[in-house]
Amino acid sequence: MAFEPKQPQKKLKYEELRIYTDEELRNYTEEELKNFKVKHSIPDVEELEKGPWPSFVADAKREALHRKKLADDRVMIPKDVVEDLLGQLQLSFDDGETHWKHGGIVGVFGYGGGVIGRYSDVPEKFPSIAHFHTLRVNQVASKFYKTDFLRALCDLWEYRGSGLFNMHGSTGDIILLGTTTEQLEPIFYEMTHELDQDLGGSGSNLRTPSCCVGKARCEFACIDTQDLCYELTMHYQDELHRPAFPYKFKFKFDGCPNGCVASIARADMSVIGTWRDDIRIDQEAVQAYINGEILPNGGAHRGRDWGKFDIQKEVIDLCPTRCMWMEDGKLKINNRECNRCMHCINVMPRALRPGEDTGASILFGAKAPILEGAQMSVLTIPFMKLEPPYDNLKELIDKVWDWWMEEGKNRERLGELIQRHGLWRFLEVIGVPAMPQMVKMPRANPYIYWKEEDVPGGWDRDINDYRARHKR
């Protein structure tokens, strides 16, 4: 099978796009790097060069040296931005406070997101990072890249920005850290025209959707997470670039209930792959696990001697619904009782596989603690078949957004609105009935908001009528 992009994609050849020559890219020696000192005294920052874990300081210093040795006209923002950034980091350590000012409205024409203004509050000390804006670049679904793309992006960003990245930011974007206001439009122009690549979201809009590795390299994926992520990203470009929402809105796509992209904790709409038929069992492979021929859990525990694999103790007894047992040497599963937690499949991936009738559960409303406390997404749609072009999901999203844009207060996430108005109101909006799967347990208080039409005779009553039966 193969997927087609929605529009023709420009073939990228780094050799055609490149800005820097090989000599410029290798413009310092290891010896020079060893002896290199940045222009500020940064003893605490330099302390972080030690230790086995990759040092971001050692990395930043090579970028600083590389920039320093480029000719003046080979970068469009100051050459010493990395040195000033490290200097400001040291000052922040000294002061125990950040030295970045509060925001600032900058952007590219026609977009309300994708660029975050950033200004140093000590520009006299660190003039090169006085203006140091962030751009968010919409990452490729599941973060596979070709080096032609990455190298071209490096040249562009080193030439017109700091050469400093986040690979990747928390929401998923490639983050470009630090450039001047003047260079924002040129960067956007080159990125869209030459790299065929757009910015991501920021502010009160659809944030850049993200997904797990999915069917590209995982046997558990129940949905095409990349295709879903790409299709919805493309379909909702306007919502992504032009803030019109009460606050941010995140989509994340997990291929299975293992939840590798953490959608249930951080997406306003969490799409999690699942199945509704039976777990596929290969009884011979089950025996191979029991006989110790295959390591359990894909070898994830091989660093320690946990003793011989015990299917009763490690699988059957840990099943949260106790829906498995051995019978005549065969593993049996009562699939009607299974809640698809993935444990047995994770432990014995060669013997057990998710079913073949796959789709997704849709949950809504996760968010971090600001403001009313952290929330996880609430199970709302138990199962939805998801086939391109995913019109059923898009219709659902449109209903959710209409309601949230109408009722949501400024900076109120969907999950908070659902809490404020009640889950049942949300269900009315999206047009689905209530089901017990939406709750851990029914409510313990009887404070039900009965509606007038629920009660025979309505709510308007005559006090005289009442008093005719009951004296004052």
Partner 1 sequence: MAFSLERLGKYNPEKPTENRITDIGPRHFWEFFPPVIKNNYGKWLYHEILEPGILVHVSETGDKVYTVRCGGCRFMTAENIREICDIADKYCDGYVRFTTRNNIEFLVDSLEKVEALKKDLLSRKHVSGSYKFPIGGTGAGVTNIVHTQGYIHCHTPATDASSMVKAVMDELFDYFTSMTLPAHVRISMACCLNMCGAVHCSDIALLGYHRKPPIVDDEVIEAICEIPLAIAACPVGAISPDKTASGKRTVKIKKERCMFCGNCYTMCPALPLSDKEGDGVTILAGGKLSNRISEPKFSKVVVPWLPNNFPRYPEVVQAVKKILTAYASDARKYERLGDWAERIGWEKFFEKCDLPFTEHLLDDYRLAYDTYRTSTQFKFTEAAWAVSRAAGGID
Residues 248-267 that bind partner 1 (CB under 8 A): 257-262, 264-266
- Phi-psi sector, 60: left (phi>0), alpha (psi -120 to 50), beta: alpha
134, 204, 205, 380: which one contacts partner 1 (CB under 8 A)? 134
Cis peptide before 135 (omega within 30 of 0): no
Q: Is position 33 an interface residue for partner 1 (rule: CB under 8 A)?
A: yes
Query: What is d(CA 356, CA 276) in angstroms, rounded to the nearest whole number?
Result: 8
Residues 287-326 that bind partner 1 (CB under 8 A): 295, 297-304, 306, 314, 318, 320
* Exposure on the CB side of residue 441, measured as CA atoms within 13 A: 3
Compare residues 24 and 428 and give the one whose CB is closer to partner 1.
24
Tokens representing residue 401 in the block: 């957004």
Stretch that binds partner 1, among 146-154, 393-401, 424-432, 449-457 (CB under 8 A): 146-154
Q: Is position 171 an interface residue for partner 1 (rule: CB under 8 A)?
A: yes
Q: Is position 437 an interface residue for partner 1 (rule: CB under 8 A)?
A: no
Q: Is position 405 an interface residue for partner 1 (rule: CB under 8 A)?
A: no
41, 49, 312, 405: which one contacts partner 1 (CB under 8 A)? 49
Query: What is d(CA 446, CA 325) in angstroms, rounded to the nearest whole number?
Result: 40
Query: What is d(CA 71, CA 56) in angstroms, rounded to the nearest whole number?
Result: 25
* Exposure on the CB side of residue 411, measured as CA atoms within 13 A: 5
Tokens representing residue 295 in the block: 């390591």
Stretch that binds partner 1, among 80-88, 327-335, 391-399, 458-466 (CB under 8 A): 80-88
Q: Is position 178 an interface residue for partner 1 (rule: CB under 8 A)?
A: yes
Q: Is position 190 an interface residue for partner 1 (rule: CB under 8 A)?
A: yes
Q: Is position 9 an interface residue for partner 1 (rule: CB under 8 A)?
A: yes
Q: Is position 445 an interface residue for partner 1 (rule: CB under 8 A)?
A: no
326, 376, 429, 438: which one contacts partner 1 (CB under 8 A)? 376
Tokens representing residue 471 in the block: 């004296």
- Whether the Cβ atoms of residue 378 and residue 365 lie closer than 8 Å to each other: yes
Tokens representing residue 410 in the block: 């400024």
Distance in Å, CB of 113 to partner 1, minimum: 12
Residue 441 CA to its chain's centroid (Å): 29
Q: Is position 103 an interface residue for partner 1 (rule: CB under 8 A)?
A: yes
Compare residues 82 and 462 and give the one whose CB is closer to partner 1.
82
Residues 334-353 that bind partner 1 (CB under 8 A): 339-343, 346-347, 349-350, 353
Cα Rg of the chain (Å, integer): 28
Q: Is position 122 an interface residue for partner 1 (rule: CB under 8 A)?
A: no
113, 135, 230, 359: which one contacts partner 1 (CB under 8 A)? 230
292, 373, 388, 422: which one contacts partner 1 (CB under 8 A)? 373
Q: Is position 165 an interface residue for partner 1 (rule: CB under 8 A)?
A: yes
Distance in Å, CB of 101 to partner 1, minimum: 6
Q: Is position 70 an interface residue for partner 1 (rule: CB under 8 A)?
A: no
Closest Cα partner for 195 from 245, 246, 240, 151?
A: 151
Residue 429 CA to its chain's centroid (Å): 26
Stretch that binds partner 1, among 232-240, 324-332, 420-428, 458-466 (CB under 8 A): 232-240
Distance in Å, CB of 410 to partner 1, minimum: 7
Query: What is d(CA 388, CA 382) in angstroms, rounded to the nearest whole number?
Result: 19
Closest Cα partner for 343 from 321, 326, 325?
A: 321
Compare residues 289 and 401 and give the one whose CB is closer to partner 1.
289
Number of residues that bind partner 1 (CB under 8 A): 167
Beta pairing class for 269-275 and 251-254: parallel
Compare residues 80 and 198 and give the one whose CB is closer to partner 1.
198
Query: What is d(CA 232, CA 252) in angstroms, rounded to the nearest whole number?
Result: 10
What length is written for the chain?
Answer: 472
24, 196, 407, 428: which one contacts partner 1 (CB under 8 A)? 196
Query: What is d(CA 181, CA 109) in angstroms, rounded to the nearest whole number?
Result: 12
- Whether the Cβ atoms of residue 3 and residue 227 lie closer than 8 Å to each other: yes
Q: Is position 85 an interface residue for partner 1 (rule: CB under 8 A)?
A: yes
Distance in Å, CB of 334 to partner 1, minimum: 17
Cα 216-221-224 angle, rounded to 5 deg? 65
Compare residues 115 and 152 and give the one whose CB is closer to partner 1.
152
Strand arrangement, sheet containing 134-137: 115-116, 134-137, 174-177
Distance in Å, CB of 192 to partner 1, minimum: 4
Residue type (1 letter), 241: H
87, 107, 113, 163: which one contacts partner 1 (CB under 8 A)? 163
* Exposure on the CB side of residue 130, measured as CA atoms within 13 A: 8
Q: Is position 442 an interface residue for partner 1 (rule: CB under 8 A)?
A: no
